[in-house]
Every structure is written in C-alpha cells, then in structure tokens.
Structure 1
Amino acid sequence: MDFFKVILFLFLVFSFSADIFAQTKTKSTVKPAEKKTEARADSAEADKKGNSKSYKELLKKATTIKGIFDIHRVDNDFYFEIPLRWMQRDFLLVNKISSVPLSINEAGINKGMNTENKVIRFSLNRRAGTVWVKTIVPRVESPASDKITQSVQENFTGSVIESFKIEAYNTDSSAVVVKVNRVFDGTEKSFNDVFNDIGLGTSAKSSLSAIEDIKTFPQNLVVKSLLTTSVTEGNNTMPVSVKVTTNVLLLPDKPMTPRFGDKRIGFFTTPRWYFSDKQQQMESRELITRWRLEPKPEDRERYKKGELVEPVKPIVFYVDPATPPQWVNAIKAGINDWQKAFEQAGFKNAIQAREVIDTADFDADDVRYSVVTYAASPKSNAMGPSVIDPRSGEILESDVIWWHNVMTSLKYWMRIQTGAIDTAASAKNLSSALMANAIRFVSSHEIGHTLGLKHNMEASSAFPVDSLRSPSFTARMGGTAPSIMDYARFNYVAQPGDGVRNINPQIGVYDRYAIEWGYRWLDAGDPHKELPVLQSWIRQHENDPMYKYGEQQDAQNTVDPRAQSEDLGDNNVKASYYGLQNLRHIVPQISTIAATVGEDYYEAGKLLLAAIQQWQMYAGHVLSNIGGFYLENPVQGDGKGAWKPVPAQRQKEAFDYLKKEAFNMPGWLMESQLLAKFLPVQDSPMGPFEYTPYNIRRNAQYDIIYKLLADERLLRMAEAEVFWGKENVFTATELFSRIHAEVFRPTYKGKSLDIYERMFQQNYVDALLVSSGKLLEKLSAKSLYDDCDYMQPKADFNQEPTALRNMNVSLMSRTSEAALLKRAELLKVFRLLERKEKTGDELTRGHYQDLMLRIRRGLNIQ
C-alpha cells in the first residue's frame, strides 16, 4: 500500500469513527432522559449479540467495594463499574513507586516518587460495545460563543490509549462494567509504563506481575501492582520487581481560577494557550502552580478587610510513620515555619503538619494524602515534587521524598562551612539537636517547592558580605539569605570571634512576599483581571534587592554570577576569601574530627574531599564573574535594562583571586601530615575511590582553566566589547594576556621548571588545543541541530529546569572571536617556546619540545 493509499485509508477510518472522537464541548442534541433510554437499548442489543453477560451473572461471585467506581473482584479478575455520568469527565492518572529492590534503590529510585501523570477521559463507544480511554493535553482555552472554538475542538482532540470491552450494564443501565486487569498487571503500558519512566527501557513480564490490591473512594481509586522486569548489563541479567501505585483521580468539574506567572517571581508554571475571535495572535501564558486556598464564603468580606481567616481547605502534610522519631519534630517544624508566610497572604492555619495516628486507612501513595516520605537509601538528597491539575495549575497533592542519607551532606556542610565558628559542628559526634536544626531548614526548603516556589539563586546576593559577620544583622534578617529557596547553605563568611549564631538558612522576606503574591485571594474569577493588581505588588518592591528573583542557571555555563548555587553575599570574590580563611582553619583538624581511635581513616578521607570540593566551589563562584552578565527581566516602564556586563574591576578582582588561590591548589589543603595517613576519598559503585595528590591537583587545575577558556565565556566578552566598548569592559584579549603571563612567568625568566609549573603549562596548552580542536570539527547535521537547540527547552526527570534566558552565544563558534583568540594564543606560545626551548634543565627543555610537538600537531604546522 503506497503512501497516498494509506492516507486515504486513514481518512475513511477517521470519517467512519468521527462520532467517537466528539469532544465534551460539542453541543449535544440528546437530552439526559433520552441518554438513559439509549443506554438501555444498547445494553439490550449487546445482550442479544452475546457481547456481554447479564450484570447478575457476571458478578454473582464478586466481592464488591463502593466508591467513585464500584470495584468488583471475581477470583483474580477486577472490574470497574463506571457510571455513565463520568463519561467525558477529566480524570488524572497518577503513577507512583511504592517499593523498590536494592538494585535501583542505589540509583536513587525510591518509594514515593511520582513517575508519570496524565489527564484521561473515558468515553462510551456504543457501536463497538467498548469504553475508550483518551489522553487529553488540556493546554488550550477559548470562549464557548466564539467561532474559533469549533476549530480549537477539532485541532486539539484527545488520543485513544486504551479500549475496554463492555462486559455488562448495571441493573438500571446507568453504568458499564469493564475488566481492567491488563492495564494494571503489566500486560499493557497504556496506564503505567514504569520501567521506561525510570529509565530501564524494559517491559513488565506479565507472568511475574500482578494486581495486589484495589481500593476506591468518593473522588479517587487506588490500584497497587507488583511489576517485574529483567535488566541485562554485559553478561549479567538481573530481575527487578517494583511495586507501583496508580491513582485515578476525578478532577474538579470547575477548575480553580488560575493565576498568570511573572518572570520576576519564581513559581513553577504550566503552559496555557488562549484563542479568541478578537485576537491577532494566540495568547500564550504560564499558570503558576499553587494550592487552592480560598476563604470560606462567610469570611470573604472579613478577608477583604485584612482580617486573618482560615481557608476552606488547608494544606496538610503527613510525616511518614517510618521516620525516625528523633527527626519528626524537626520535619514538622520546617512545615509549620511557612505559617507566617501564609498569614501575610491573609490565611491562618493554612498549612499544617500532622503525624499519622491511625495507620489502618493511611496510604502514603494515595493522592488524598500529601506526605513527607522517608526513604531508606544511600542517596543523599531531598526532593519536593507536586501533582498538578494542568488545566489551572492547582496543586492537588505533594510528596517530599526525604532520603535518609541527606544527613551525610548536612554533616559535611556544617563541618566544612561552619566548623571554624561553631564548636558543635567540629565535634567528633554531632549532637541530635544540631542535626535536627539542619533538618528543619531542609524540610522548609523542600516544602517551599511543594508550595510552587522555584529556586531563587539570586536571593543571597541581597546581603552585604560583611553583614554576614554581624550577629545583630543575621539575627534580625534570619540566616544567610532573604529566601530559603536559595542554596545558601550555612554561613561560611562569619569568622571566629564574630559571635554570629544565626548561621542556618531560614524562611525570609522574599519567601513571604512570593507566597503572598501567589496565594492572596482576589475575587476576580478571571486571571486577566488580576494582572493590574499583581503587577502593582511587584512595583512596590522592584528596586529592593531583598525581593529579587534570579532563576537557576546551568552550573557549567553560569551567566549571572549573582544567581549561583551555594554562594553568599553581594560580592562572591570577597565572600570566597572569607570562606578560605575558615577552610584553612578546619582542614588541620580533619583527622581528629572524623577519625575514631581503632578505626580506619575512611570518614576523614571523605571529609578531606569535602574540603577540597568546597575550595573548588569558591573558585567556581569567582570564575563566573569573568565574562559574566547581570541579567534582569525588565518590563515596559520600569526603566531597567535586560543585561549589562559585570563591572571590569570586579572581573579583574576575580582573576586575581584565581591567580592567587585557585590556579594552584594551596599547600595547606594537601598538607603532608594528613596525606601521610589518608587520601581524599569518594564513594563509588565499586567502593571507595582514593585520589592521589598530583592527580587531584592536575584535575582541579585543568577544570578551572578549561572553564575559564570556554567558548561561551569568550563570546560573551566579545559581545560586551562590541556593545559597551573595549575601554569599558574586561576584554578577552586582556584575559589571555593575564593568564599567559601567569602560566609562562618562569619561562620568560629562563628558569628550570618544577613539576607543578610544568603541569600548569601542560594543562593550559591542552585546554587550548582540545577546545580549538572542537571548534575545527566539521559539524554533522545532528550537531548543527544541537547547536541551534536553544529553541527547545529541556528539563530532567524531577529536576528544576535551568535557563540562560536570552544569552545564547554559541552559534557559528567555528568562525568566532573565540576561535581566533585561542589559535592566536597557541601561536604566541609556540613562538615563545621556540625562543626558550634551550633554556632551563634537561627536563624543562624536554617539556618545551613536547609542548611544541603538541601545538604543531594540533594546528597542523608543517
């Protein structure tokens, strides 16, 4: 069958089945009473054809439970009795993991994780005697009376993912009975494709998979299944059995009034497209994700007058009964800390933390419950995703995944960042009170995500660096930043003797402001009518850095140095110097802090690696100033510019820091007395991995140099030079001049080079050759697409998307200023080595000849 015949065939099939695809918004000419009569007639005719059994005959041996769908179990077969009134209503299919084996636990896949959600509709296919299930992407909206609405309905139809045979109609023909085993027992992937969703790329083995339990409630039903697959790696095949829970949740008949997002406030969003007859182009909006908090009807006038009132339905989080009891109160405190933010939005008792008193009916995987799920796992992290109604952005349920080993990260952060100023953090054994205090801030941060808030990585830049050394300032402002949604871990700026006690992140000014902006109830009924009010709230604080939002960026290509993970203060160069002073104080104590008499130095080795990584992190914070831009999200009338380069003086200060503290790892960080006993240790799937001194120095140095010479950085510097003039910016030419002088200082002096000086030159030349070689590679069709792929936003599973906004500078980099600068620098180095190849000792001369051979080969010099 050729292409045109296929198209014709599909057209005929579609035409024949057009009535099946009719959407709910299409006006019906059948009255409700007539629908019931028609259903009875269909039932009778189906019985005549032998396509379904009688209701009583089918279910005479059934065990039945009542709920949104009555569930009938006959031996090992499960049946849904779906009322006809629920046909064409929106349901949300929510899939969660309930238990996992060791093999994927180690990969960070754990209980409570949400793998896939999708909106579905059940529709009755009378002719075929089946119920079809369609997936719907509810992204579009148009006025019912507009002509374009017909086109919207025809161009945004649902797709059929499943078909169930109607086994029977109930006694009054108001519901149909369908057998559902295959969509929950692993036979079909239409409702649950867990093994693809978690990245295994396999299918369930139906002979080793089964439905374990089904429960039904007034608004949802819950299906629990055990699904088994096998994964082959090399010559080994490993079985993997995962318990999964599928929720089928009835969405509200009337969606919550959405609220439009604004780039100046950090909320997660879901897209919405608006069509109307009056438009000249489609309206594209982002709806913020938030809980439906509304005052009770009888309290609305009091609310409008500014009185605190309780919401119709509060936000309730349950603490997993599996949580170790000594941490329960800390987790609850982190939840309850958001009360003040909601009070600023006009609601009291809006968010509540509860313990599970009766576990008989409690199920953490039931979407009726929002839970802080405690996962026994070696993974060191926490995560706060939410289940969203995509029609409005309403958060329906949230789960914080709390990995037990997050305490490992907290322990290292506290010891490395604050051990110099807090004797409790540098003690051999951390107290439960100290750990509980840290757990409280992590709880608050993750709950912030479940309330709809994104990371605000720019918040910490609002505090002057030296103010972080002030006991009164940190006590008054609370912690390390105006937002707990920044990664502003612990106060590494404060010095011994400063007397600073408030060193943990806390919910701050920005957080309370953002919650008020997103949750204060406006009796508008239309998100368009809210816009003037929402914008006026932003204008009140638009010039105050305490209320500034800075989006999370790609850590490998940071554009705005103010919005970085784990930096502190308004000058990260100055803050990093302070951090190094504290780090220098704590490193000599590592063996006494982390090693126990009679046991090995494994923990001490891990703590030493944490110290080295902290040193690297400071260097990364500083490095981002070079070629950096301060980014804004201006709107008409606010007088702000969208971008401007980091001041030239700050960039020069950043380079001086790198020259002094980062190009060469300081000796005190690799102290011989420590290295004689243990090496830096990192855990790996194959066991602890030890780093030797020369290797770790070389790798750390190469990483800094390679990032400093990144094409994106050099191209941003070229943009700044073109737009602002080279006399007003730190140019790429000056950068190369400064680093060249530093790398080859002993060569110009004719000295013999030691091993570290040779390493510095090798790393520099290699970074230039590698990056230059990439620029010269012929672009394939695929790589060309990747180079232009800034048009396509990407997001990892359960990760917050990162963005560089409009600062894409990578197109046609082969013929860019970056390529010229790198090749010119290599030629400059080559000419220098030609002049100096006979200076220094024998090893130095051999080193120069080696570099010349590399450059000659890399640039194809004959």
Structure 2
Amino acid sequence: MILDKKPLKFVSIVLFLILCGANIYAQKPKKQAEPVVKKTLTDSLKKKSDSDSTKSKSMKSYAELLKKATTVNGLFKVHQVESDYYFEVPLNLMNKDFLLVNKISSVPLALNESGLNKGMNFENKVIRFSRNKLAGTVWVKTIVPQVESVKGDAITRSVNDNFTGSVIESFKIEAYSPDSSAVVIKMNKVFDGTEKSFNDVFTDIGLGTAPKTSLSAIERIKSFPQNIVVRALLSTRVTEGQNSIPISVSVTTNLLLLPETPMKPRFSDDRVGFFDTPRWYFSDKQHKMEVRKLITRWRLEPKPEDRARYLKGELVEPVKPIVFYIDPSTPPQWRKEIIAGVVDWQKAFEQAGFKNAILAKEVTDTADYDGDDIRYSEITYAASPKSNAMGPAVVDPRSGEILESDVIWWHNVMTSLQYWMRVQTGVIDKEARGNKLSDARMGHAIRFVSSHEIGHTLGLKHNMSASASYPVDSLRSPSFTNRMGGTASSIMDYARFNYVAQPEDKVTNITPQIGVYDKYAIAWGYRWLDVEDAHDELPTLSRWIKAHANDPMYRFGQQQSSLNIVDPRSQSEDLGDDAVKASRYGLANLKRLIPQIAKWSAADGEDYYQAGKLYMAALGQWQTYAEHVAGNIGGYYLENTVSGDGKNTYTPVPVAIQKQSLNYLKEEVFNMPDWLFNKALLSKTFPVKDTPYGPFEYGPYNLRREFQYGLLYSLVGEERLLRMLEMELLQGKEKVFTASELLKEIRTTVFTKTTKGLKLSITDRLLQQNYIDVLLVSTDKMLEKVTKKTLKDDTTMNLPAGCDLGIEKEIPNFAPSSDVSTASALKTIYVSSMSRTSDVAAAKRGELVQILSLLEKYKYTGDEGTKGHYQDLILRIRQSLKMN
C-alpha cells in the first residue's frame, strides 16, 4: 500500500505503514532445554529443593519485600510498591509462549502530522521466561517459532540446535512466593525506557533516539487472566539541523499468554488473497525442506455439539465470534454506519457456514474498557489531519490465528471520500456536489470504508483485479449494478465510486460493496474441515479454487507498485475490463464537471479555495485515467498457475490493445485537451494543493508540463521497454508491439508539425521539450554506475500499512524516483538487472540521434520562437551525447 508521505513540521521523519496488517512472521520451535551449569562439590552437598539454590539471607522475604504493596491478581500477580512494579511469575508458566504486543497510546502534534496515532501496533515478539536457578535470575528469550519437525525423527535434534531463542533480558529474583511456586522480579527497566528489550519505540517509528529515563515512567499496569497491560510514558528529544523538539509518546505493552494448543493452520494459496506467515517443515523422510505459508485468520470453529449439523450444511454459531468495539471517541453520527460496515461481512461468513460470526458493539461502560487492551478489537478513531484508514491484526505466529485486530480510522478520511464522490460521481448524483455532503451521503461512504478495512482485519489482502471482472458497459446498467452491487467483485479492490456511469444512464448503485469474491475468499479461508492435519485439507482447498478457476469474478490480482505496473488488470482506482473505454467515459464526466467547479464550491461571499482544491482533484483524476491506459503498453497478464489448469503464467497484452492505448495517450497526453484548463475557472482560481507550508496554487502551464512529463517518463520507462524486448525475443517481432515501434510512434507524433515545416505553439514546444528531456534524463540515469544496496538501505519501519485513501496525487518530479516495491512476494517480471547494457539504452540514444538529425534538417523553419526552440534542443542533445 502506498501512503502519503508527510514530514514532521520540524523533523524529517518518513513513517512507512504495512499491507493492511501487523504480522509476526514466525512459528513455534521445540521447547528449549534450560542452561546446563557444571555443579561443584559444594553444590552437590546442598539440599535439593524446588527453590532457587541461591536463596540467601541477603534475599528479602516475600512478606518483607511486598509489605507495602498494592497487588492485582491476573495472569501474573502484579505488585506495586510506590514507583516499583513487580511481577510474580508462576514457575508453571516458565518456558511457555507469550506474545509481546506494543501499541501507541498517545502522540504529540509532530508525530500526529506524520501519520502516527493511537492504536497503531509497532512491534510484536514471541518471548519465553526461564529460570536460572544457580544465578538466581529469570531470563527472557525471544524466539522465532517458524519451524516444525516430526517428534522422534533424528533431524529434530538438529532443528532444536539450529533454531534456538536469543536472550534479550535478565531479571534478578527478588523473592519467592510463600509456597515457592512463583518468583518475584522487578520489571521497571523494560517498561520505563531504561532498557529497549521489550520495546524500542523511538527506533521502530524512525526517530532513532533513546528515551530519557528521567522524563519517562510507567503510568499503570493491569493484570487479567490471559494478559497483562502496561502503559508507560516515554520521552525523547529529536534534533535536526538547528531545530530540536521534545517528543513524548505513551506506549501500551500487552503480555499475552498464547494458547497451549495452537489453532490448526490452513496453508495459503497464491490464487486466494490472504495475508500469510511462513512455516518450515523438517522430517527424516524429506529430500528437501518443505516450505509453506499459513493464512492469517480468526479461530472460527463450530461447537462440538453442532459439528454434525455444520458438516450437513446448516448454519451454526462459532464457539467464539469476532467482536469489534467502537471507540467511544467516535462521533455519534458515524457509529451506526461503521457498525453496519462490520456486520455486512456476516453474509460472507454464512458462505463459510457460520451465523452471528462477526459483531460490532458500542462501549456502554468505559470504566473497565481500554482500547489498547488486547482483549478488545477496536475501531479506533484518531483525531488527525491525515486522510486514511488501516486494518492491522495481531497474529499468533505459530498458527496464523488472528488474536486481535484494530482498525485505525483517521478523522480526515472523510476528506478523501468527499473528493472521490464529487469528482467521480458529482455529475450523476446531485447529493455529491457541495463542499459539505449530507450526513446520510457521507455515512453511506463511511460504511464502505469500514467494510474494506474490516476485510483486512479478517486476513484479506487487496484484490486489485476485482474491478477488471466487470464489463465496462455493464457499469452503465442500472439492472447490472443493482444485481451485482458496487463497482467490482470485491470490496478489497481500490474500485472507488462509479465514474463510468453517464448522467443519462440513471445508475444509482455507485458505491463499492462486499462482492462475490469476498464471500468466496471468506468461505475458502474459514470453512471448517474435520481433518487432523493442515496437509489433509489441500485436496479440498484446491477443489474449491478449481470450481471457479475460469470465472474472472473470482480471480485474485496482487497489488503492484504504482511506479511499475506489469499486469494492467490489477491497478488501483480503475473500473471495468477495458481501461481505454472506461477512461473515455470518465473523461466525458470530467468534461462536464470542470465548468461547474466554481459554482459547486463557492457560494456567495466565499473565496475559491475549495474550488481550487476540487480542481486539483479533477486534474488528478485525469492523470489516473492516463496511467490506467498506459499500463497496457508493455504489459503482461500474470496468472498464479498450477499444472493442469490450462492457463499461461505470462501472456503479453494483445498488440491491438497496446496500440489502442497509445492512441489514447496521443490524444489526451501528447495534446492535453484545452477543456482541462477552463479559462473561466482559471480566472477565479488556479488548482490548489495543501502542503505542510500552506496551500500552493499551481500555474496551469506548470501543471500541464509536469503532468505530461511524468506520463511520458513512465511511457518510456526502462522496465516497460525491457519487458517489450522480452516479448519480442520470446514471441517474435511480428506478434508483439515492439519497443522500437513504440519509440518511433512517439517520435513521429511529437514532431509531426516539425516535419511539415509549421510554426510551433507553446504547447507544441512544451511536448518536444518534455520528450527530449525524458530521453536525456532516463538515459543518463540508466547509464549511471549501479551500487549495491546494503541491508540498512532496505530497512523500513515495522508499522502496519494503511490503505491509500488520498485522492490528491503528488505532482510529478522532473526526475521520478525508482520503483518502490510494495512486497517482495509479488508475482512480477524482473527485467532491470544490468539495464545499462541492454538494447533499451541503445534505443533511447538512437532516438536522440534521429531527433537531432531531424532538428538539423528543420532548424530554420517556422517563426522565430520555433527556430530558437530547435536551436535549444540541438544544443541540449549535443551536450548530453558529448557531440562537438
């Protein structure tokens, strides 16, 4: 997921947030033996007992240590003696698996502005307590329980030796309980900022500083039967250049006892989009290690007495339903719609055989309620200027079981919803035109965002091919949209609102909804199977997929980097199965919208700030349509294929579609339409974009140049051209649209007036300047010496990813950054290794030479402005190619 990156007001912090879920990629290893210590003769003469052999007169008695303590019972007894906190850890919980979950509970303005807010999970780890009797200490180890081996196999001994835990903390045993069944240890140092072993918040959120212990302290500790909740205030100071600001963050740490018997896992399949966690299997019978991935899902199981009815196809209630609580901070008018967005998933769980499987509740008694307590899954409402939402989950890494989820709901998400509705559907929906929409209209949109984010908390990834499953013209049909619901077969796509429908179509069902794919995916992931081992489920799971293998409604398409689209069917914010046709319908509505912007956005006596903002959003929508179309050129249809399904994994986009797409770009990008720059509107306002420094008003010529430049740069990007070379090599140049054909088509169009000896307008010159600069910059970049990245270069913050809900696009830069991969596991085509030695570099430099020859031939044609323009281009090319 790609987020809006916004710096702190005084500190440059980039907060990277994860693919709709906080996951620990880890599984359960075998129990580790306690440290072996060589005993002395004296030791052997000491009395054997269960108590620590280092008990001495210097150790305080339990009663003496805790005589002034306030005690709370729970998973551990927690004793508070003034500002000191002690855990009484039962010996029978030593070497058990605990999950340490760290969440943000409060932030100052500077971090709020950068997108860090209450409820966000920043670090999880599995730990075990173990007692070192001779040393009189308790060690804490962190483990990565990713490995499983067959009990009794010889290789299991090696597994135990090669996947051990690492000690991260040691605590002195302060006392034993009166019956010697538990040890008492002082816990202050791991929560008050003295040590970073349990949480290292300032490193994890990207500040790279340490807590100031004199300004940090434990605020409170609660203990419950399965977990302990610790809240602490941690303070630091961040300095950059001449600026230094204090930062205080409240962090809540949950210590959760994991289930003794993990949930039976379910193996993932790349044809169904679930988040997953890795699992390695070892056995003596193998010829190689078995590598699997476990999907993340809630533990939904029929009650033992209902299993027979369940297996007959009757709907039954699960042992434990999924329950979300609405943050009491949520404005009352939105609670009903947010709850509806949660409960809408019930129809999907019915496909999995469960009724009343998912619920949402308002908090009626806040006395004992804490949204950061891992016992509660909460939809957290964040007062923030950020326009976004996210749905992370806390996962038991041994099985993939989702233990708790939180939707982070930024208040300003409504800003994005408003602009989407106005730009995409304002011309067909009178209720979606004003600066402020009705609560009813906004609530309807909030419901869809709620459902989308809850989908992530259920384990579902984005399915970006769902929108491509609907025929474009069907989106103009009231009967089709009413029957199918929404704008795509999955609410997990970024399908947005129906911009295809035209005013005369009278389509009213224009909002994304839970669709066919969502119900199928939940059934595939959650239907309970009465088998002992996850391997035994594989034939059934494959059969379920095979039943819908050729239906595009059920296809899963992975999210791709927006900077390098390979499969044009899996793009963000697109609609329908034909990007060119859908974009032309979208343009028709934009053409109707732009002349109305001032009227819709500025009532009598109001300024035109809102009009400028809406205008920028409309231009961003135009850009989005062009990007969707460009995705076809040099594109491949990618499939997660298996033997026997009759499908190809890699299929080049048909030549006719690629050429049709290029024609669209010639019309809409090479010659940007004048209606985009409506003179009546521009006399009132320029396009406006909010920045950390206030609103910026962009000149129309500047925007025209930058939008066009960014799209041209993408069109001749090295990854695209390299893929086209791959196609030519594999398919033969007669069957594909080649890179040389693309470059020739662009050159011919860009210099049409030049070859006719005509004078050039400002926009004609702009196009030629942009295209030549794109070739110069991209060629120089390709020929730069490649340096290896270090591990540190690729390290990003361990925060969950938010959904890309911002409608305002970044204005393209003159030197676009390199591709940003959203996930290493994406199916893609890697082509960029050693690109400087490829035909792409030769082709681009060859284009520059041909253009130079053309300019030399026509440099004395046209008016004075045109001649000066040609001389400038000739000098630029010669200088770049180092030609005398």
TM-score (norm 2): 0.92
Measured after TM superposition, the shift of residue 843 of structure 1 is: 2.0
| Alignment of 1:235 onto 2:251 | no
Measured after TM superposition, the shift of residue 663 of structure 1 is: 2.4
Q: 1:845 aligns with which of 861, 867, 876?
A: 867
How far apart are the structure 2 equivalents of 1:338 and 1:317?
Answer: 12
Amino acid aligned to 1:489:
R
Determine the structure 2 residue equivalent to 1:819: 841
Work out whether residues 520 and 554 of structure 2, in 8 Å CA contact, stay in contact via their aligned partners in 1.
yes
Measured after TM superposition, the shift of residue 43 of structure 1 is: 4.0
Question: What number of residue pairs does the alignment pair up?
Answer: 827
How far apart are the structure 2 equivalents of 1:197 and 1:146?
Answer: 40
How far apart are the structure 2 equivalents of 1:375 and 1:157?
Answer: 40
How far apart are the structure 2 equivalents of 1:428 and 1:180?
Answer: 53
Q: Point out the more displaced range, 410-419 or 829-838.
A: 829-838
Determine the structure 1 residue equivalent to 2:93: 86
Measured after TM superposition, the shift of residue 550 of structure 1 is: 0.3
| Alignment of 1:671 onto 2:678 | yes
| Alignment of 1:768 onto 2:770 | no
- State how 1:307-456 maps to structure 2 within 5 Å: 307-456=314-463
| Alignment of 1:516 onto 2:523 | yes
How far apart are the structure 2 equivalents of 1:598 and 1:282?
Answer: 72
Amino acid aligned to 2:519:
R
| Alignment of 1:487 onto 2:494 | yes
Work out whether residues 30 and 148 of structure 2, in 8 Å CA contact, stay in contact via their aligned partners in 1.
no
How far apart are the structure 1 equivalents of 2:558 and 2:207?
Answer: 31
Amino acid aligned to 2:476:
R
Amino acid aligned to 2:499:
Y
Determine the structure 1 residue equivalent to 2:173: 166
| Alignment of 1:695 onto 2:702 | yes
How far apart are the structure 2 equivalents of 1:111 and 1:579?
Answer: 38
Work out whether residues 34 and 130 of structure 2, in 8 Å CA contact, stay in contact via their aligned partners in 1.
no
Work out whether residues 86 and 184 of structure 2, in 8 Å CA contact, stay in contact via their aligned partners in 1.
yes
Determine the structure 2 residue equivalent to 1:48: 56
Mark the CA change 1:591 to 1:130 in structure 2 (over 3 Å): closer, same or farther.
Answer: same
Measured after TM superposition, the shift of residue 665 of structure 1 is: 2.7
Determine the structure 2 residue equivalent to 1:6: none
Work out whether residues 47 and 54 of structure 1, in 8 Å CA contact, stay in contact via their aligned partners in 2.
no
How far apart are the structure 1 equivalents of 2:640 and 2:690?
Answer: 41
| Alignment of 1:268 onto 2:270 | no
Work out whether residues 441 and 506 of structure 1, in 8 Å CA contact, stay in contact via their aligned partners in 2.
yes
How far apart are the structure 2 equivalents of 1:470 and 1:40?
Answer: 83
Mark the CA change 1:477 to 1:658 in structure 2 (over 3 Å): closer, same or farther.
Answer: same
Determine the structure 2 residue equivalent to 1:541: 548
Q: Residue 756 of structure 1: SS of its match in structure 2?
A: helix
Mark the CA change 1:314 to 1:782 in structure 2 (over 3 Å): closer, same or farther.
Answer: closer
How far apart are the structure 2 equivalents of 1:380 and 1:101?
Answer: 18
| Alignment of 1:657 onto 2:664 | yes
Work out whether residues 123 and 799 of structure 2, in 8 Å CA contact, stay in contact via their aligned partners in 1.
no
How far apart are the structure 2 equivalents of 1:157 and 1:265?
Answer: 33
Work out whether residues 384 and 410 of structure 2, in 8 Å CA contact, stay in contact via their aligned partners in 1.
yes
| Alignment of 1:640 onto 2:644 | no
Measured after TM superposition, the shift of residue 40 of structure 1 is: 8.1
Measured after TM superposition, the shift of residue 664 of structure 1 is: 3.2
Determine the structure 2 residue equivalent to 1:799: 801
Q: Residue 727 of structure 1: SS of its match in structure 2?
A: coil
Measured after TM superposition, the shift of residue 596 of structure 1 is: 3.1
Q: 1:211 aligns with which of 207, 218, 228?
A: 218
Q: 1:142 aligns with which of 141, 146, 149?
A: 149
Work out whether residues 768 and 826 of structure 1, in 8 Å CA contact, stay in contact via their aligned partners in 2.
yes
Q: Point out the more displaced range, 827-836 or 842-851.
A: 842-851
How far apart are the structure 2 equivalents of 1:231 and 1:503?
Answer: 47
Q: Residue 493 of structure 2: SS of its match in structure 1?
A: coil
Determine the structure 2 residue equivalent to 1:732: 739
How far apart are the structure 1 equivalents of 2:785 and 2:267?
Answer: 44
How far apart are the structure 1 equivalents of 2:592 and 2:826?
Answer: 37
| Alignment of 1:220 onto 2:227 | yes
| Percent identity over paired residues | 66
Amino acid aligned to 1:847:
H
Q: 2:635 aligns with which of 599, 609, 628?
A: 628
How far apart are the structure 2 equivalents of 1:39 and 1:456?
Answer: 65
Amino acid aligned to 1:501:
T
Q: Residue 105 of structure 2: SS of its match in structure 1?
A: strand
Determine the structure 1 residue equivalent to 2:110: 103
Work out whether residues 559 and 804 of structure 1, in 8 Å CA contact, stay in contact via their aligned partners in 2.
no
Amino acid aligned to 2:799:
F
Q: 1:132 aligns with which of 130, 139, 157?
A: 139
How far apart are the structure 2 equivalents of 1:378 and 1:91?
Answer: 36
How far apart are the structure 1 equivalents of 2:47 and 2:133?
Answer: 8
How far apart are the structure 2 equivalents of 1:599 and 1:422?
Answer: 23
How far apart are the structure 2 equivalents of 1:28 and 1:668?
Answer: 77
Question: After TM superposition, which residue ranges in structure 1, 4 or more long, deviate above 6 angstroms?
Answer: 792-796
Work out whether residues 428 and 592 of structure 1, in 8 Å CA contact, stay in contact via their aligned partners in 2.
no
How far apart are the structure 2 equivalents of 1:200 and 1:243?
Answer: 15
Structure 2: 5+ residue stretches without partners: 1-28, 37-45, 803-821
How far apart are the structure 1 equivalents of 2:535 and 2:826?
Answer: 28
Amino acid aligned to 2:133:
R
How far apart are the structure 2 equivalents of 1:476 and 1:831?
Answer: 59
Work out whether residues 121 and 799 of structure 2, in 8 Å CA contact, stay in contact via their aligned partners in 1.
no
Determine the structure 1 residue equivalent to 2:851: 829
TM-score (norm 1): 0.94
Work out whether residues 52 and 133 of structure 2, in 8 Å CA contact, stay in contact via their aligned partners in 1.
no
Q: 1:57 aligns with which of 64, 87, 102?
A: 64
CA offsets, 1:121-180, max 9 Å, x none?
001011211101111101000011111111001000001111000000100110000000
How far apart are the structure 2 equivalents of 1:813 and 1:23?
Answer: 46
How far apart are the structure 2 equivalents of 1:535 and 1:767?
Answer: 47
CA offsets, 1:102-131, max 9 Å, x none?
111010100000010000000101121110
Mark the CA change 1:549 to 1:796 in structure 2 (over 3 Å): closer, same or farther.
Answer: farther
How far apart are the structure 1 equivalents of 2:185 and 2:877?
Answer: 72
Q: Residue 119 of structure 1: SS of its match in structure 2?
A: strand
Mark the CA change 1:219 to 1:796 in structure 2 (over 3 Å): closer, same or farther.
Answer: closer
Measured after TM superposition, the shift of residue 598 of structure 1 is: 2.0
How far apart are the structure 1 equivalents of 2:700 and 2:385?
Answer: 27
Measured after TM superposition, the shift of residue 806 of structure 1 is: 4.1
Q: Point out the more displaced range, 80-89 or 716-725.
A: 716-725
Work out whether residues 448 and 485 of structure 1, in 8 Å CA contact, stay in contact via their aligned partners in 2.
yes
CA offsets, 1:8-61, max 9 Å, x none?
xxxxxxxxxxxxxx96255999xxxxxxxx9984746433262x2111110011
How far apart are the structure 1 equivalents of 2:114 and 2:837?
Answer: 42
Measured after TM superposition, the shift of residue 793 of structure 1 is: 11
Work out whether residues 205 and 797 of structure 2, in 8 Å CA contact, stay in contact via their aligned partners in 1.
no
Work out whether residues 204 and 797 of structure 2, in 8 Å CA contact, stay in contact via their aligned partners in 1.
no
Mark the CA change 1:58 to 1:590 in structure 2 (over 3 Å): closer, same or farther.
Answer: same
Structure 1: 5+ residue stretches without partners: 1-21, 30-37
How far apart are the structure 2 equivalents of 1:372 and 1:755?
Answer: 52
Measured after TM superposition, the shift of residue 602 of structure 1 is: 1.2
Q: 1:755 aligns with which of 737, 762, 769?
A: 762
How far apart are the structure 1 equivalents of 2:323 and 2:736?
Answer: 52
Q: 2:288 aligns with which of 281, 284, 308?
A: 281
Amino acid aligned to 2:177:
N
CA offsets, 1:633-666, max 9 Å, x none?
1101111110111010000110011011122332
Q: Residue 60 of structure 1: SS of its match in structure 2?
A: coil
- State how 1:253-264 maps to structure 2 within 5 Å: 253-264=260-271
- State how 1:546-625 maps to structure 2 within 5 Å: 546-625=553-632
Work out whether residues 833 and 852 of structure 1, in 8 Å CA contact, stay in contact via their aligned partners in 2.
yes
| Alignment of 1:198 onto 2:205 | yes
Amino acid aligned to 1:844:
T
Amino acid aligned to 1:633:
N
Q: 2:302 aligns with which of 295, 300, 303?
A: 295
